[in-house]
Amino acid sequence: MVAKARCGVSEVVASMLLLLIVVSVGTALYLYLYYKSTFYQQRISQELLAEEIRSKQQLTILLVHGYSNTGNGSISIVVATGSFPVEVNAIYVNDTLAYETTLNLDRYAVEEIFITSPIKLNSGDIVYVKIVYAGGYFYVEASGEVT
């Protein structure tokens, strides 16, 4: 008599369970990696868009003039913006922080900004002003005389 190879039910069930485990782990790994890649792709596209908007902001200082008649003195800064609105983040006078609140300027605007000087101003002094804008990525500098 020839012996027949018998495949038991438990071996078939074990093979099906092993196949099911491998497929479900592979699917879970694929979904996790897909989620991470789309998440990072969205973050990169948002950062690129924000950087494009920041790079289009233009700010020019037209005039800086200091006044020594009150307290530490005050400073008048005339600025002009380009074709996009500008977000001013900080203003420094002689490398000393003078203004640190967000100031939004419209596009194609020429505006005068008055600030109180953080340092004592005397007539005849030269003040150096630095304006930080576009989320701190860019700055412009200019100087002017105190009267």
Banded pLDDT at 86 (limits 50, 70, 90): very high
Average pLDDT, the chain: 89
Retrieve residue 72's tokens.
Answer: 């530490």
Name the amino acid, one letter, at 146: V
Positive or negative torsion for Cα 115, 121, 125, 126 = negative
3-state secondary structure of 25: helix
pTM over cut 0.85: no
Alpha helices in 2-143 (DSSP H): 9-56
CB contact at 8 A, 54 and 135: yes
Of the pLDDT bands very low, low, confident and very high (cuts 50, 70, 90), residue 114 is: very high
| 74, 119 contact by CB (below 8 A) | no
Beta carbons of 69 and 88 less than 8 angstroms apart: no
To which H or E segment does residue 3 belong?
A: none
